Amino acid sequence: MFLGFSYIVVASRLGLTRALQPCRTRRPSLLQDQQSRPPGIKPLTMATELEKSTANLKLSQTRSLYPPINPYKVAFVDVSDIHTVYYEVSGNPNGIPVCFIHGGPGGGTVDAHRRFFNPEIYKIILFDQRGCGRSRPAANLQENTTWALIDDMERIREELSIESWVLFGGSWGSTLSVAYAQCHPDRVLALILRGIFMIREQELSWLYERNGAAMLYPEPFQRYLAGLPERLRSARSLMTAYHSILSNEKASVERKTAANAWTKWEQTLSTFPKPGEVDEADSAKYTDEENLAFARIESHYFVNRGFVEEDGFLISEEQMKKIRHIRTVIVQGRWDMVCPRKTAFDLAQKFHGNAEVVIVENAGHSTFESGIEQELLQATETIGEEFKSMCNGTVADR
C-alpha cells in the first residue's frame, strides 16, 4: 500500500491523449453497480486484495502472444456523412467482448493486436479510428474529435449487440478508454491500460517542446526540429508550428517532411533501452501515407488538447468517481519516454486503491517490448479468468 493505491513493481527477467464539452450519447449512462456484473464477479476494492491478486505472479514464466487468428467478421460503418470506420471481430463469438483501442491518435490496428487475447474465451473487436488505418477518408480532420470517437465506439458496440465490454488501450488508447468509460461506465466490464496518457499540458510539453524529452535525446530532437521549415524552428510552440504545416493542404512537400520527422521522433522515444528499435508489428515500417495520417491527426488532437478544454479534466475527482468501481489494470514501463510514469502514478491515485498497477522495470513505451507484452498477456489472462462465466462456445476461425 502506497499513497492510497496498490503499487506492484515487476522486476522483469525477460532481458529485460475551461469546462468540459458534454459527452454526446445515444442513451443515458448509469453507474454500474456490483449487481450488474456477471454472477460471481466482484470488483476489487481494497489494496490488500490487489496485492493478493498478483502475489503468485511467476516472473520466470515466459508468455507468448497467442497464435495468429483471422477475423470472422469484417465491416465498414458509415459514422457520419464524411467518415467510414473499419472494424473486425475475431475469436469466440460467444466470448468475453474486448475492444482493442489503438494509439496515436492517428495510428491504427494490425493483425498482431488480436494476439493479446485468448481466442477461446474472448470475442475480440478491433477498429480503426476516424481517418486511421483502413478507415476512410485517410487523415481527414473534419468531424474528428474525442467525442466523435466515443460515439463511434457506441455505434460498433450496438451493431454487435454487446451489452458491455473490456477496453484494452495503450498510450492515446488509454486516454480514449478512460474518456469512453467516463461517458458510459455501465458499458465497461474492465479496463486494461498501458503507457498512460491523459492529454495534460505537462505531458504534451514533455514530448513535443524543448525542455522535456529533448533534454535526454538532443540529437534525435535536432532531427525533429529540422522537420520544420527554417522559418518555424524558433516558434514558441513547436507542436503548434508542426500543426500549421501538417494541416496545410497546399504545402505537400513541407507536409511530407514534417510528417516523417514527427513520426520518427515519437518512434525514437518508444523503446528502452535502445531508442528507435521498435518491433515491426508495433510500427517499424510506416509508409508516407501512414506517417501523414499519424502526424496530422495527432497534432490536430493535441493542439486542441484532445477537445477537453480543462487541463487535467479526465483525471479530475468529478470524472474519476464515475469509473472508480471498474476493474482496472495499469501496465507502465518505468522508462517510458513518450508517456512518463508520473501520469500512471497520478491516474492510479485517483482510483483510491481500486486499480492494480504494474510497473515493468527495464521497459519503455512500446506494446511489444518483452516485459510490457508479458504483463499485458498476464492482465488479459487474469481478466479472462474473472469474467469467464460470460464465455461459452468455441473460437470461430483460426
Catalytic residues: 171, 336, 365
The C-alpha cell at 116 is 493479446
The torsion angles phi and psi of 74, rounded to 5 degrees, stand at -130, 130
DSSP letter for 20, please.
P
* CA distance linking residue 306 with residue 352, whole number of Å: 25
- The answer to whether the peptide bond before residue 185 is cis (omega within 30 degrees of 0) is no
Q: Nearest CA to 222 among 265, 172, 171?
A: 265
Name, in order, each residue with C-beta under 8 angstroms of 14's C-beta and a sequence gap of 6 or more.
62, 370, 371, 374
By three-state DSSP, how is residue 9 classified? Answer: strand
Compute and round to an integer the Cα radius of gyration of the chain: 20
Rounded to 5°, the CA angle 288-198-143 comes to: 55
Amino acid at 137: P
**How crowded is residue 84: how many other Cβ atoms within 10 Å of its Cβ?**
14
DSSP characters over 195-232: EE----HHHHHHHHSTTSGGGT-HHHHHHHHHTS-GGG
The torsion angles phi and psi of 222, rounded to 5 degrees, stand at -65, -35
The C-alpha cell at 81 is 456523412
The torsion angles phi and psi of 134, rounded to 5 degrees, stand at -90, 0
Q: What is the 3-state secondary structure (H, E, C) of 26-85?
A: CCCCCCCCHHHCCCCCCCCCCHHHHHHHCCCCCCCCCCCCCCCCCCCEEEEEECCCCCEE
Could you tell me the strand order of the sheet in which 73-78 lies? 6-10, 355-360, 327-333, 188-196, 165-171, 96-101, 122-127, 84-91, 73-78
